[in-house]
Structure formats: structure tokens, C-alpha cells
Structure 1
């Protein structure tokens, strides 16, 4: 029985799994090939080298972290539920972004991509708040920082993060 040929997306998905489980040091051809039960040749068929693989991973993450996030939020029926959905998605500790944040500590290109996404997300959040009648841009930055901060809390405290962030959204909207 022959194994199905791996796609570029298979390698990128494996890269994100490895990044989340083992950190940036796992983003190399050899450990990824082992995890996928294949040869490094398959990796190099799709990517010129490891830095090229990293660029593809970042491009995929950037698209998902902004376009994917916005698509999920725009389906909400009210500004209130859109704001809640935004903070819940940003605060999610099980997503890829916390691993990207850790990777950014040691990789300047990742740090630059992260800064661009954070800036774009804050602008989008400011627009969501404006639709809800809140025009102070400092509120967007504070709410975004609170959502990111929730990722850093111990697991036991993260269980309350959804209701804590909902309370913060409710408070912001009550004060408009």
C-alpha cells in the first residue's frame, strides 16, 4: 500500500502542530518528516529550504489570523455579539497565535508579521467599537491587550476568561 503524496498544506499544518507542541526548534525538515512518517525529500519538493517553509507558514497564519478572524466576526448579528466573538477568538489559548507570539521572541521576521497583524486587528476592533458607538481608540487597545493577556493566565484562570471578557465588553458598551 502506498502512502498518499503530501501536499504543501500538509507540511504547513504539521508545522503548526509542531510549533504548538514543541516550539520553533521543531520547525525543521527532519523532525517534521519524522512526524509525517515520510522523507525530507518530500519537504524539499515543496519548499526550497527551511526559511522558505517559515515564510509559507507565516503567510498562512497571517491570512487566517486576519481574514479568517474577520469572516467569523462579520457573521455576527449585532455589534455586541461581534465584539464578544472578537475577544473570544483573540483570547483563545488553543489557537496558533500564542505559539506565534512565542516564536516571535526569537525570530525578527515573525515579530514583524505579528506586529502587523496586531495593528490590523486593533484597527478592525476600533471599527467594531465605533459601530457600537465607542469612538475612543484607547478602548480598542485596552480591550485587545486584555484579550491577549487572557492567553497568558494559568489554565485554571482561563476557564473564567470568556465571562471576564464578556463583562469587559458589557462595561465598555454601558459607558458609551
Structure 2
């Protein structure tokens, strides 16, 4: 008989497992039972960390939102020119699926989830607005006051994420070229 105990799962372990499940199987995999099977634990362990599945979902969305805002802040604080910060911000958005941060890699799955879940859609909308505000501010600092340009850059970056399975390596260069083109219009 094996007397070794498995280490106890932490809240973070459950959230990371949820991100993987969401990416691989969609939001239907975010129930207590499928997640418990996935990590080889009991539902009791799940409920030790989360009061219910909606609370878990909110925690998962909070993890993604926090990672997205941290990445946005890091690109804004880069020691560079406004044009370079603009390029860095757009490239960060276009390359979330290849990020070192698991929560950011889940962005395409989070966006798909938001199509059918109002709580998720609300969180995505908040992140979208924060990113658009930063792009608008950087464009303005570069002498481009056409607010539509921020939306065009953002939509292009988000759209490039849909190509991540085939062309992820090309996304950063492509969005960088679009930023360069927009800046050339000044």
C-alpha cells in the first residue's frame, strides 16, 4: 500500500488547472467535478478553496484580468520613447497566446467564453477599455489624435491572436509593422 500523501492543492493549483481546462475544452470543463478529475483530487478540495463554481469562475477571470493589467502596466513603464512603448504595447497584446504567463496564454479561450457568459464579457470589456485607453494615450503622445487608430491597432492585435495556432511567430513583427505604418502617417 502506498502511504505517501500527495501534496495539498492550493488555490493557485486549481486556477492553473482551470486555465488549462478552459484552453483545451472550453468553459464546460470548469465544473468542480471535471476539474477534480483533472487534478486527481476530490471535489471537497475544490470547495475548500472556492465557495462554489461561480466564485471559482470569478477567481479565474480575476487572475486573467490581473495578468493582463500587469502586462499593460509593464509595457507602459518601459524605459523608452512613446513610439517604442506604443509598439511594445501592441506587440504584447498580439502575442498573449505565446506569453510566459499562463493566464495571458488563455486569452483566446477567455474571449471565446465571453461570447456566452455575461460576467466574463464584463471582465473582458474592462481589460479592452484599459488597453484602448493606453493605446489612445500613446498615440496622442506620438502626435496622432485620431481615436479610431487605437481601435484599429487593438482590433488587429486581437485578430492576430486568432491566428496564433498557425502564425504566432509572425504576429509580433506584423503588428509592429502596422504601428510603424500608423506612426509614418504623422
Q: TM-score, normalised by structure 1?
A: 0.91
Cα 1:107–1:10, aligned 2, differ >3 Å: closer, same or farther? same
Give 1:93 shift: 5.4
1:171 aligns to what? 181
* 2:20 is the counterpart of 1:17: yes
Give 1:157 shift: 4.0
Q: Distance in 1 between matches of 2:72 and 2:52?
A: 29
> Structure 2: which 5+ runs fail to align?
98-104
Deviation string, structure 1 residues 41-94 (Cα, Å, up to 9, x no partner):
100001111011001111121111123322244224222322222122211252
* 2:45 is the counterpart of 1:35: no
Q: How many residues get paired?
A: 176
CA RMSD, Structure 1 to Structure 2 (Å): 1.7
Q: Distance in 1 between matches of 2:68 and 2:86?
A: 16
Q: Distance in 2 between matches of 1:76 and 1:168?
A: 22
Cα 1:157–1:4, aligned 2, differ >3 Å: closer, same or farther? closer
Question: Which of the numbers 43, 47, 52 marks the counterpart of 1:49?
Answer: 52
Q: Secondary structure at the match of 1:14?
A: helix
Q: Distance in 1 between matches of 2:164 and 2:20?
A: 21
Cα 1:170–1:117, aligned 2, differ >3 Å: closer, same or farther? same
Q: Distance in 2 between matches of 1:63 and 1:154?
A: 22
Query: Segments of 4+ in structure 1 off by > 4 A?
Result: none
Q: Secondary structure at the match of 1:127?
A: helix
> Structure 1: which 5+ runs fail to align?
none
Q: Distance in 1 between matches of 2:88 and 2:96?
A: 14
What are the within-5 Å matches in structure 2 for residues 55-94 of structure 1? Answer: 55-92=58-95, 94=97
Q: TM-score, normalised by structure 2?
A: 0.87
Judge conservation of contact 2:27–2:113 (CA < 8 Å) in 1: yes
Q: Secondary structure at the match of 2:7?
A: coil
Deviation string, structure 1 residues 106-151 (Cα, Å, up to 9, x no partner):
1111111111211111011111222222221111111001101111
Q: Distance in 2 between matches of 1:18 and 1:156?
A: 21
* 2:124 is the counterpart of 1:119: no
Q: Distance in 1 between matches of 2:165 and 2:95?
A: 11
